A = this chain, B = another copy of it.
């Protein structure tokens, strides 16, 4: 090992996804890179961890001259395994992604990409999740790679405030068309579920999750506003879920 920053990379689309290849490439110039990522897609896994069955992990040769492992678990499992069994010291930075699809606003809750970054932050590692607002397998990661490298280098230089990580989303635009980046808050948006009910050949019902994204938050300080207006959104994110402002209200209740 040398004196370079140690950078752990993971994702939720799996170790063979183009997005993680772009992220590995963009981090190589910033430090010593190690990859521990799921062996299959894990989108929508939220902060799931695997307790009831064992995990597999094996070395793979996917990236040129980069130590990489695939793991049978969730993104959060990958981070836990990496920290305990792979890394020889605490990483200086954890980056997750680049996700194929947005993790802005309420999507942070459902996102495997972000759960990996949250897990890193819980472990005390500076952590960033990157997502490109484009679901296509062959999406263009050029602008995302540029911003990933820019933001990661600032985080390595400055460190993040205690207990925070970054949720970075990149609009599906070419690099010259992106207007810059904005520090934002998570928009108050949500999904309206519309399950698609079908009947199988054995006459039993089944349901596909589908939904409509609804943003009723018109604040110009939100991630949704930034993305809709051509900016990269950067939301400082925390894992203290306490609604501190509600404590005083609840203390007025009689029990």
Q: This chain: how many copies in the complex?
A: 2
- Kindly provide the distance from the CB of A200 to the nearest chain B CB, expressed in whole angstroms: 9
The yes or no answer to A52 lying at the interface (CB within 8 A) is: yes
* Min distance, Cβ A53 to any Cβ of chain B, angstroms: 9
**A241 at the binding interface (Cβ < 8 Å):** yes
How many Å lie between the Cα of A123 and that of B83 in the bound state?
36
Q: Is the CB of A44 within 8 A of B54?
A: no
Residues of chain A touching chain B, judged by Cβ–Cβ distance below 8 Å, are 41, 43-52, 54-57, 76-77, 80-81, 83-85, 106, 108-110, 115, 118, 122-123, 150-151, 154, 158, 160-161, 163-164, 167, 180-181, 183-186, 188, 190, 193-195, 197-198, 204-209, 234-247, 249-251, 253-255
| Other 18 A-B pairs with CB < 8 A, given A56-B207, A85-B195, A161-B243 | A44-B51, A45-B46, A46-B47, A47-B48, A49-B110, A51-B209, A54-B206, A81-B193, A85-B207, A109-B118, A109-B241, A163-B243, A183-B250, A184-B247, A185-B240, A236-B242, A236-B243, A237-B241
